[in-house]
């Protein structure tokens, strides 16, 4: 990537309360945690951290809670340290910024419970001309389709790639499926959206509904995707000792969007994203454990 690229990340910032546990408690049980940390979270926010760490410039837009709530300043302070542009985040009077409780077991797997006020989806984003000025690509959470599909459609009219991070089921008539350029699903989200439990068949079904690039992330099994001829391809995962998977998928999406915007081919962008996500999994700290670009390049060189 020859120059710093500007990526607009659309999503909902989240306040993450993370607990390291030996096992996820059952109903009615009480467990002691081995570790605790309060960190910024949310798919787009995590992706923005990754983009910044990996040499890009990230801007965030989407809804937050009331400007007077305590978590707002905490989030803004941490994002400022990462060099992320937060001027386009929209405070929603009287609402609460999304919050998640996250339990992490010794294998690095996480169990999450989240609260997002339904009123947050009534946000009005800044004007497209402001958000898309000097924008090289968009990375959007699929849950934001209701208030950002028109913006993504305008981006595509201007020739700006739109990469969608899909981690929950979507309607097959959802407009974001057709106004995107790249759709990258989690395994569960792809199967739930397509209504098919076989990933390859699910990708092929989705290919009949959209002209977007299609891929599904499979954790340690790598990434399955369709090339221009709709033939299945696989990008292997990098084998690492995993201690914390929180934010790994978001780092993957941010890294992919950044590399593709920088002119990399699909296979190269996927391989870069896979390496960045793998290194993140070797460290605690959610997206704040994202590696620097030089570390990813060193892994790729091996």
Candidates 299, 295, 302; CA nearest to 50 is: 295
Average pLDDT over residues 115-124: 95
Residue 285 lies in a domain: yes
Instruction: Assess whether pLDDT exceeds 60 at residue 120.
Output: yes
Residue 2 lies in a domain: no
pLDDT at 1: 47
Instruction: Assess whether pLDDT exceeds 60 at residue 2.
Output: no
The CATH number that applies at residue 148 is 3.40.1190.20
On average, the pLDDT of the chain sits at 94
Per-residue pLDDT tens over the stretch 45-84: 999 999 999 999 999 999 999 988 877 777 888 899 999 9
Residue 148 lies in a domain: yes
Residue 245 lies in a domain: yes
Per-residue pLDDT tens over the stretch 191-210: 999 999 999 999 999 999 99
Please tell me the distance from the alpha carbon of residue 112 to that of residue 232, in angstroms, as a whole number: 32
Average pLDDT over residues 270-278: 98
Residue 1 lies in a domain: no
Q: Is 250 left (phi over 0), alpha (psi -120 to 50) or beta?
A: alpha
- Give the lowest-confidence range in 105-114, 138-147, 243-252: 105-114
Which residue range forms the structural domain that includes residue 254? Answer: 9-24+33-301
Reading across the β-sheet that carries 110-115, which strands appear in turn? 35-41, 14-20, 99-104, 110-115
Comparing 35 with 277, the larger pLDDT belongs to: 277
Residue 3 lies in a domain: no
pLDDT at 286: 84
Residue 83 lies in a domain: yes
Residue 79 lies in a domain: yes
Q: Which two tokens stand for residue 51?
A: 């983009």
Question: Domains in the chain: how many in total?
Answer: 1
Please check whether residue 54 is in contact with residue 293, taking contact to mean a CB–CB distance below 8 angstroms.
Answer: yes
pLDDT at 107: 85
For the full predicted model, state whether its pTM sits above 0.85.
yes
Residue 297: which pLDDT band, with cuts at 50, 70 and 90? very high
Average pLDDT over residues 4-20: 93
Q: How many CA atoms lie within 13 A of 296 on its CB side?
A: 28
Please tell me the distance from the alpha carbon of residue 199 to that of residue 188, in angstroms, as a whole number: 9
Query: Per-residue DSSP letters for 113-152?
Result: EEE--GGGGG--PPPHHHHSTT--EEEEEGGGHHHHHHHH
Q: Which two tokens stand for residue 188?
A: 């569960």
CA distances from 287 to 35, 95, 222, 249 (A): 17, 25, 19, 9
């Amino acid at each position: 990537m020859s120059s710093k690229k500007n990526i607009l990340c659309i999503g909902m910032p989240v306040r993450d309360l993370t607990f390291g546990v030996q096992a996820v408690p059952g109903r009615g049980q009480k467990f002691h945690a081995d570790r605790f940390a309060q960190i910024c979270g949310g798919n787009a926010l995590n992706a923005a951290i990754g983009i910044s760490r990996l040499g890009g410039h990230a801007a965030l837009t989407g809804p937050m809670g009331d400007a007077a709530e305590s978590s707002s300043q905490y989030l803004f302070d941490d994002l400022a340290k990462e060099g992320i542009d937060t001027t386009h985040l929209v405070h929603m009077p009287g609402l609460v910024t999304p919050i998640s409780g996250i339990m992490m077991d010794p294998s690095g797997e996480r169990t999450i419970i989240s609260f997002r006020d339904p009123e947050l989806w009534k946000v009005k984003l800044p004007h497209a001309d402001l958000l898309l000025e000097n924008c090289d690509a968009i990375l959007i959470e699929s849950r934001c389709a209701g208030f950002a599909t028109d913006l993504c459609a305008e981006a595509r009219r201007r020739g700006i790639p739109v990469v969608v991070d899909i981690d929950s089921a979507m309607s097959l008539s959802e407009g974001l499926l057709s106004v995107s350029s790249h759709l990258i699903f989690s395994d569960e989200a792809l199967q739930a959206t397509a209504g098919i439990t076989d990933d390859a068949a699910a990708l092929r079904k989705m290919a009949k509904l959209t002209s977007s690039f299609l891929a599904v992330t499979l954790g340690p099994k790598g990434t399955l995707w369709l090339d221009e001829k709709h033939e299945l391809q696989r990008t292997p995962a990098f084998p690492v000792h995993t201690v914390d998977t929180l934010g790994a998928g978001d780092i993957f999406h941010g890294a992919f969007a950044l590399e593709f915007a920088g002119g990399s081919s699909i296979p190269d962008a996927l391989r870069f994203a896979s390496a960045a996500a793998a290194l993140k999994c070797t460290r605690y700290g959610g997206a704040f454990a994202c590696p620097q670009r030089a570390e990813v390049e060193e892994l790729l060189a091996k």
